[in-house]
Structures are given as structure tokens and as C-alpha cells.
């Protein structure tokens, strides 16, 4: 794997051994990998930093590994062997797939070099952890980020798929497991993987919150909202809500293609 180094000196955070690789996505729908690397080269590091960014067919290393990082906003900053960002500005599936493969291969390579297991979001301290998992599981959490799941989900990569891909990789030449299988294709989104909330604004201005899962939708009362949020979070979906006016086209499509069920 070709890693371009545009390095900046970063503070040491915590102490060895560093037992986690953190997977992130940038949250920025417009930035290229180079934009992100440029920003990292001049930003206040106390406000956060990472070690690699993947995008536009490139892997750019922005900081040394094995020093911790201010990347997950909590006590697991002290466990960061490497923090890898995936850009979120892919315009086509082909662009996404190329970078997704690089992202997975890089996470695998970093885990192997640090002797970290290729596990995703397990309760064990050691392993590959998403920022979302850190947010919900680390001590002294101060983060509300749930990346990279919503973005991966947007392109049809489920939690299970991501987990599998981290174990098997894509059989690239630098794959030290000697895995020569045909590369896994990211699967297209299955019905049961689609889950999100939205707000419907009625003609009179009142708002309803709805949950869509697969080809069904349900109206959420205040009590059910907490359950729905937990469900979304546990299954790696975003809890963000798009707001639609009652006559919005996207809303009409949602209502056309889903059946109403009771919670
Ligand atoms: Zn993050």
C-alpha cells in the first residue's frame, strides 16, 4: 500500500501499549483527502488530530502512529495506535469502493503492525474501534460523534460487512495473510439494513417523528423515541433526523414505499 507522508509532529497522548485502531469518517461532504491533510497541517492539535486520511485513491499519513491521539474525545484517546479518517465526498459508488478498500486495508495493516486484533467494536479493550463505539463505551466520554457508521451505511456497508471485511481484507498484494480470494464487493443495502428517523412537519406546523426500517415505518411517541435511538445506535445507524415538510417529494417517496406499522 502506498502511503504518502505529510507529517506533522504531534503530542504524545497516554503511554504504550496502545491497544486500539480508531476508524473515523470526516463528516465533511466536500473535502478531499488533500484538503483534510492541509487542514491537519495547520490546525490547533488540541482540538483534535488523527494519523491517516483516506480518499481520492490516496492514503496520506499526517502524524506518527503509536503515540495516542486527540481523536475520540475521551479516555480512549490514550489507546490510539492510529486514527484513520475516511473522506465523505465520494460522488460515485466506484469512487467510494476504491477508497473503502484502501480504508479497510489500511486499518488491517495498522492493526497487524501493532499486534492489535482485527476485531470491530468488541468489549475487549484491544481492537479496531469506530468513533461511535468509543462515544458509547469509553470512560470520560465527551464526544457525540457516531462516525463512520452513517457514512458507511449511506453506501450500503453494514456493520456486519465492515466487520467481515476487516477480518478478510480484499486480497491486495500487501496482504500478509496471503488471502487471494476474489475481493468482496460491498453489498448493496438490504431492506433490513435501512433504518432512520425523520421529522414530518404537518400543514398546521405540528411535527411528528417517524422511524423507517426496511419497508416499514412507524410513528414515534416521546417514550418510543428513546428506544428507537438506542436501536439505531446499537445497529450502527445514525440518529440524525431529516426534516420534511408534509408536501416534500422525498417524504412522499418514503410514504409510498413503506407501510405503517405500530411500535
Ligand atoms: Zn471521528
For the chain, state the CA radius of gyration: 19
What pLDDT, on the 0 to 100 scale, is given for residue 168? 96
Output the CA 244–ligand 1 centroid distance in Å.
27
Output the CA 46–ligand 1 centroid distance in Å.
15
Is the pLDDT at 107 greater than 90? The verdict is yes
What pLDDT, on the 0 to 100 scale, is given for residue 199? 94
Question: Which residues, by Cβ under 5 Å, contact ligand 1, an ion?
Answer: 24, 131, 145, 147
Spatial separation of the C-alpha atoms in residues 143 and 202, rounded to whole Å? 33
Read off the pLDDT of each residue in 202-223 and give the average, rounded to a whole number.
89
Helices 93-114 + 159-168 axis angle, to 10: 50
Using left for φ > 0, alpha for ψ between -120 and 50, and beta otherwise, residue 171 falls in left
Output the CA 115–ligand 1 centroid distance in Å.
22
pLDDT tens column, 6-61? 999 999 999 999 999 999 999 999 999 999 999 999 999 999 999 999 999 999 99
Is the pLDDT at 128 greater than 90? The verdict is yes
Neighbours of 221 (CB within 10 A): 10
Output the CA 20–ligand 1 centroid distance in Å.
14
Output the CA 77–ligand 1 centroid distance in Å.
11
Q: Assess contact for 128 and 20: CB atoms under 8 A.
A: yes
Neighbours of 8 (CB within 10 A): 14
Write down the H helix ranges in the chain.
Answer: 33-42, 93-114, 131-137, 149-154, 159-168, 222-234, 249-257
Output the CA 83–ligand 1 centroid distance in Å.
9
Amino acid at each position: 500500500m502506498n502511503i504518502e507522508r505529510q507529517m506533522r509532529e504531534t503530542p504524545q497522548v497516554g503511554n504504550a501499549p496502545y491497544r486500539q485502531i480508531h476508524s473515523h469518517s470526516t463528516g465533511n461532504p466536500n473535502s478531499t483527502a488533500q484538503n483534510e491533510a492541509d487542514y491537519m497541517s495547520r490546525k490547533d492539535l488540541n482540538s483534535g488530530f488523527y494519523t491517516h486520511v483516506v480518499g481520492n485513491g490516496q492514503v496520506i499519513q499526517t502524524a506518527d502512529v503509536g503515540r495516542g491521539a486527540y481523536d475520540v474525545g475521551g479516555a480512549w484517546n490514550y489507546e490510539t495506535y492510529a486514527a484513520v479518517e475516511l473522506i465523505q465526498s465520494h460522488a460515485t459508488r466506484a469512487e467510494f469502493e476504491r477508497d473503502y478498500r484502501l480504508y479497510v486495508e489500511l486499518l488491517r495493516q495498522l492493526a497487524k503492525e501493532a499486534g492489535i486484533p482485527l476485531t470491530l467494536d468488541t468489549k475487549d479493550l484491544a481492537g479496531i474501534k469506530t468513533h461511535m463505539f468509543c462515544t458509547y463505551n469509553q470512560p470520560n466520554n465527551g464526544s457525540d460523534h457516531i462516525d463512520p457508521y452513517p457514512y458507511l451505511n449511506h453506501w450500503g456497508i453494514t456493520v456486519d460487512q465492515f466487520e467481515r471485511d476487516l477480518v478478510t481484507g480484499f486480497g491486495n498484494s500487501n496482504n500478509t495473510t496471503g488471502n487471494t480470494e476474489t475481493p468482496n464487493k460491498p453489498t448493496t443495502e438490504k431492506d433490513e439494513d435501512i433504518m432512520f428517523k425523520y421529522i414530518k412537519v404537518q400543514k398546521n406546523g405540528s411535527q411528528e417523528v417517524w422511524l423507517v426500517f426496511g419497508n416499514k415505518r412507524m410513528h414515534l411517541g416521546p417514550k418510543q423515541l428513546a428506544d428507537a435511538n438506542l436501536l439505531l445506535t446499537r445497529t450502527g445507524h445514525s440518529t440524525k433526523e431529516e426534516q420534511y415538510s408534509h408536501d416534500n417529494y422525498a417524504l412522499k417517496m418514503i410514504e409510498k414505499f413503506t407501510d405503517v406499522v405500530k411500535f
